[in-house]
Structures are given as structure tokens and as C-alpha cells.
Structure 1
Amino acid sequence: MIVAVTGGKGGVGKSTTSLNLGYELDAVVVDGDLATADLPPGTGPDLHDVLAGRADPVAAVERFGPVRYLSCGRTLAGARAADLSALDRVVERLEREYGRVVIDCPAGLARDVGTQLETAHLAVLVTTPDEAALVDAVRTRRVAADLETPIASVVLNRADRDEHGDLASRVEERFGATTTIVEDRATVDEAQSRWLPVDDVDPDCPAVGAFDEIARTIERSEQRISSRIGVH
């Protein structure tokens, strides 16, 4: 199963969601932001090298803490050399090897976001409660619909359960996907700054339960898709 974590607007928490879902789903996390990578850098070949045909994708996977990554390079030259059209083959190879792949998509609605959404079997849409992020989430949903990539889950990040409960219900109705609130907690930011899942930093943090809930929603969608099209 290949999951694209997307949302349109930058800074809404796509990388945090990707990291924690990689942990919850025992997946390889691909840092798919070719220009401004947000996940831990590797010590060897990276996604730039893989997309340029200089490295094997499986050999480029590294473990940082409890999560496996295919990290992305951080140079403009590397980004320019990368052949984005090879992304689907790279991700499918990782899926065959590891079973599940989570792609951390870049911000915006540029061509590479469409490429990654089209590669994925389903998407997780991340937004915050502010209007600009919600508007971008709606636009991203339209792109996903055009590419026939279903939205399995919506993440309402940096929200408050009491203050934003009604908003979460409206988002769920609008997007037709289970919407989970991830509360704004310092522990989440601390874990991300260390590139660790929240569960590794504070197992009692409410975000741990939220990310587990999102993962279980994805697994249910995975079962439905697998039974329909034979994905394993």
C-alpha cells in the first residue's frame, strides 16, 4: 500500500504526520519534497540519487530511530538531476520490498504533488483550522479526485478538541473522509525536532492515540482497496 500525505499549504504538519504514520504502519517514509526536504537526511544515497539512476531505492533506505526512510537530498543540483517520472517505479519497488510506503508530499499544487498523488493508492489530507489551510486542502482534494486517488483520512492538525470539534465534523462531511484532530502540544513539536515519533518521546501524549486512529483508518481503507483491486 502506498499512502501520500498531502495538504497543499506548507507548515500544516505533513512531515509530522508522515513520520508518525511511518511508525504506526511500519512503513518506509519517502521524503518526496525534492526541493525543500523536511525529514532526516541520510548518510548515503538519497532520493535525488535514486531518481537520477545513480542508486538502488532499497539500498538507499536507512533507519533513523524506529522509522525507515528514503531521505531526500538538499541540493539544487540534485533536485535538477532527479527524474520525477521515475518516482512511481521507485515507490512501487519499495512497496514490493517493505509492503507499505508513506510519501511525504511537498507543499503547493505543483506537478510533483500530482505525480505523487497519482502514484499512491490513497491519500491522507493534512490541514490546520485556519482558513488558508482549509482552502488549500479543498484544492488538493480536487487534484486527488481528478487523479482518482481516494482521500482515506483528513488530519485537522494543531487543533483543540473542544474548540474545533464542530469544524472537524463539517470537514468530515465536506471531504467524505474520517477526520481526526491532532491537538497542538509541545511534545509533538519536540518529537519532530528530533525526528522521532511522538510515542518515542511521550507515550501518554494525546497525539499518540490520534496517529494510531489515523493509521487504523488507513488500514481499513487498505483492506477495502485490496479486496477490490487485489493490492497486497
Structure 2
Amino acid sequence: MNMPLNTSADTTDPIAQARYNMVEQQIRPWNVSDARVLELLAQMPREQFVPPSHQALAFTDMEIPLHRDADLAQQLGQIMLAPRVEARMLQDLQIRPTDRILEIGAGSGFMAALLARSGAQVVTLEIDADLAEFARENLRSAGIDNVQVRQADGALDPIPDGPFDVIMLSGSVNEVPQRLLDLLADGGRLGAITGQLPMMYATFVRRSGNQFETTRPWDVVTARLRHFPEPSAFKF
């Protein structure tokens, strides 16, 4: 049953108005129609997950750097996804209230917060120690207690908590590694952004027994997650 939708703005509160505009002008027009997702984005305090140096960007239609140096943030994959991408990924993963979820790339913790409000339990991995602590603090401040933030390299370190009903990669990779697909439960779904510049795709994989069905319904470009394999350079 869908939750009642309540995305109306408090016009006396500029933060509430900015969040409302984000939902109505960025997210809803980008083929996001799930009432639960729209309400979640309308209620979650995104501004509390943004670094102080970038507070003015909290509701803009762009990726937000999680480092003072925006270029370095891109190189390191330290970004918050654009709001419309977060919402569309959340919608297309079709998360159920009972789902156990793995996220690769915690960042500021905002996507983990959305996943936690949609499912039962979230494990999120963050390679950078400072960002991992930032995510923990943000999640605590938001009153979200069903997320475990772990400092770990999602490309290389063991992940002993599987199987998972949902796996989300909050950044791009060349292709989805089999080691992550193997962590999916039967019926589980994985969402990632795959490919190389200038073209990347939102990629969703559903497991059915030992079979994996892949769809790539829309295109988007975002920063790389570190240490995932890249294609070998072609040489004559």
C-alpha cells in the first residue's frame, strides 16, 4: 500500500521551500512517480548531510563535492549524487520494508539514510575514514539507527554479511563485479552506474537462482568508485 503523499511546502521556511522545489522541479519530472520515494525525498533533511562548505548547494541539481577541492572530490569519487539520480535509483530498486541492503560508497550517509527508511537494515561501506565518521554523525543526527557504517574498500575487502536483498553502488564502475552479484539473495536486485565516459548507464541486475537479468533503462554520468577494475588500454 502506498504511503500518503505529502510534499507541500511550508512557504514561511526557506529550507522547506527549497526541498519542495527540488522534488517538484528536479525529481518528479525525471520520471520519478513512486509516492513513497517522493515523500521520502520531501521529508529527509538533505541539508544536514551536506558539508558546511557546500551548504548552499544542498538542493541544487548537481553532484555535491564531499571535499573542499571539487576536482579532487571527483577524482576520489567523494560526491553526493544529484537528487534526481538518488530518487530514480531508489525507485528502480523497488525496495521492500523487509530488505537487507548493502551500499558501496557511504559518502555523507544521505543515500544510506534513504535506503534505511525504505528497507529493514543497511550496511554501508566507505573507503575514507573521515567520510565514514561524517556519515555516522549525520545518520545519528537524523535519528537513523538501522545503518551500520563500516570503513572498508567495497572493491577489495571481504564482505561477510551477505546475502543481501538489495545492493547499491553510489558511484560508477566499468562493470558490475561478479563478487557483488554473488552476494545477492534469490530475487535480490543490484543497482549501479556502469560504463565509461562519455556514456554511462543506470544498470539494474535481478537474481533468479543462478541466473542474472540485466537492464539499463536510462543513462547518467557520475564519479568513479575507487579500485574497481577498469578496462585495459587498447594498444596496437
Q: TM-score, normalised by structure 1?
A: 0.33
Higher normalized helix content (fraction of residues): 1
Name whichever structure is richer in strand by fraction: 2
TM-score by length of 2: 0.32
State the structure with bigger RCO (CA 8 A, min sep 6), 1 or 2: 1
